[in-house]
């Protein structure tokens, strides 16, 4: 059974987090959320029991950012959701930056959506095709081949644009981990309106 | 500022809950979630600190199902999300059933999505046009004019089908509460792919 780690912080866009996590679970992917702390005193970080999303929904993480449960030896996919403040916290965290490089190096997938794509820059990923929310385009454009596609797959890096592309982003991750048939099996009972382009 | 109450229970479909709540907040709607309890001992209900969604995401409610914060004197909209087990808990709760009738009688909106539409039957709403997740169609078809439209607006009752219709459902609620311009203002930065039919 494939396994995924979805990061979560105060200010994470809760639709992007929830759509990705829920869709992966529907596909049978063992999915774990890990809280990335906002506040630290020296080596001690303060982890509240819940993360407050960008629009105020309080979500309790399954776990915390600990090497023993977060590494590429544990999961096949690492996901960085958006939300300006959440993505800033996640993408500037050195443990996360190292995790991203380790996942890519181990041949595992890394998904980034919305402002979460800033993590590609912050973790020094090489120049490649990528997309993001338009609000952070200017920060990414000099260092990547910027695309306006809803979902961009570049080797093991999968990027996307915002809450409105979260379903095709999550379904693309399902397809990469579990195959095209599973993607169809998961999408059908969600009842997308006729004409939905994914 | 319009105000909305979104119900939440163990087994609520977390995408439907989160997309609706988040989209309403983006529109400037004052939004409150209230936990509908699963377990009661006589008159005493046991309310855990978080609701476990249908795919395992733990969400902390803003409030509980108390008359002082849940009535149609407090809010312009009541939302019943889906998720088979969550919708069963919510739609069979007599306090919720009375709230639904009170909201409709007061000229306030009631939104139901997915299996949440069962609440229309359980609260004895009159025969009218309605939709739901296909999995509960057979239970609703004898008593309502069943539609397969992604979103059905029938007077003050707004119904929808599943996670795949949660965005047009939420945006329709925004339009009813805040107008067409606000709907556009909220939808644009979500970056729906070109060709998305809402």
C-alpha A134/C-alpha A132 separation (Å) is: 6
Q: Is A114 a catalytic residue?
A: yes
Task: Select from B55, B60, B168 the Cβ nearest to the Cβ of A21.
Answer: B55
Residue A44: pLDDT band (50, 70, 90) is low
Distance of CA A20 to the CA centre of its chain: 8
Assigned domain for A54 exists: yes
Assigned domain for B195 exists: no
Number of domain units in chain A: 1
Instruction: Say yes or no to pLDDT of A40 above 70.
Output: no
Active site residues of B: 16, 114, 133
CA distances from A25 to A22, A33, A108 (A): 5, 12, 18
- Whether B25 and chain A come into contact, CB under 8 Å, resolves to yes
C-alpha B39/C-alpha B187 separation (Å) is: 38
Contacts of B161 in chain A (CB under 8 A): 191
C-alpha B57/C-alpha A31 separation (Å) is: 10
Assigned domain for B61 exists: yes
Assigned domain for A109 exists: yes
pLDDT in tens, chain B (198 residues): 999 999 999 999 999 999 999 999 999 999 999 999 886 656 655 556 789 999 999 999 999 998 889 999 999 999 999 999 999 999 999 999 999 999 999 999 999 999 999 999 999 999 999 999 999 999 999 999 999 999 999 999 999 999 999 999 999 999 999 999 999 999 999 999 999 999
Q: Which residue of B has its CA nearest to A167?
A: B164
Assigned domain for A125 exists: yes
- What is the DSSP annotation of B61-77? -SEES-HHHHSTTT-SE
pLDDT > 70: percent of chain A: 95
Instruction: Say yes or no to pLDDT of A106 above 90.
Output: yes
- Whether B187 and chain A come into contact, CB under 8 Å, resolves to yes
- Contact across the interface for A168 and B56, Cβ inside 8 Å: no
**Predicted local distance difference test score (pLDDT) of residue A17:** 98
User: Which of B18, B33, B86, B189 to mutate to probe the A interface, most A CBs <10 Å?
Assistant: B18
- The CATH number that applies at residue A177 is 3.40.50.880
Assigned domain for A196 exists: no
Residue A94: pLDDT band (50, 70, 90) is very high
Assigned domain for A123 exists: yes
Q: Which residue of B has its CA nearest to A49?
A: B60
- Contact across the interface for A197 and B198, Cβ inside 8 Å: no
Assigned domain for A58 exists: yes
Q: What is the mean pLDDT of residues A184-194?
A: 98
CA distances from B64 to A115, B21, B34, B116, B168 (A): 33, 16, 4, 18, 27
Contacts of B59 in chain A (CB under 8 A): 57-60
**Predicted local distance difference test score (pLDDT) of residue B74:** 97
**Predicted local distance difference test score (pLDDT) of residue A48:** 65
User: For residue B162, what are the contacts with CB-CB under 8 A and spacing of at least 6?
Assistant: A189, A190, A191, B16, B82, B113, B114, B133
**Domain that includes residue B79, residue range:** 3-190
Distance of CA B58 to the CA centre of its chain: 18
pTM over 0.90: yes
- Contact across the interface for B162 and A60, Cβ inside 8 Å: no
Arithmetic mean of pLDDT over chain A = 95
Contacts of B165 in chain A (CB under 8 A): 191-193
């Amino acid at each position: 059974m494939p396994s995924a780690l979805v990061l979560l912080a105060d200010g994470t866009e809760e639709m992007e987090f929830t759509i990705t996590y829920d869709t992966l679970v529907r596909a049978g992917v063992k999915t774990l959320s890990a809280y990335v702390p906002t506040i630290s005193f020296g080596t001690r970080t303060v982890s509240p029991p819940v993360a407050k999303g960008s629009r105020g929904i309080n979500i309790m993480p399954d776990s915390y950012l600990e090497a023993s449960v977060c590494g590429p030896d544990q999961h096949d996919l690492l996901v960085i959701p958006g939300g300006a403040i959440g993505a800033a916290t996640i993408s500037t965290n050195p443990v996360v930056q190292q995790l991203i490089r380790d996942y890519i190096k181990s041949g595992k997938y890394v998904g980034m959506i919305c402002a979460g794509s800033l993590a590609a820059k912050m973790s020094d990923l090489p120049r490649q095709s990528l997309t993001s929310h338009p609000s952070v385009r200017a920060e990414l454009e000099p260092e990547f081949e910027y695309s306006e596609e809803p979902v961009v797959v570049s080797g093991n890096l999968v990027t996307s644009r915002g809450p409105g592309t979260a379903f095709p982003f999550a379904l693309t991750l399902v397809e990469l981990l579990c195959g095209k048939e599973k993607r169809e099996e998961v999408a059908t009972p969600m009842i997308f309106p006729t004409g939905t382009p994914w």
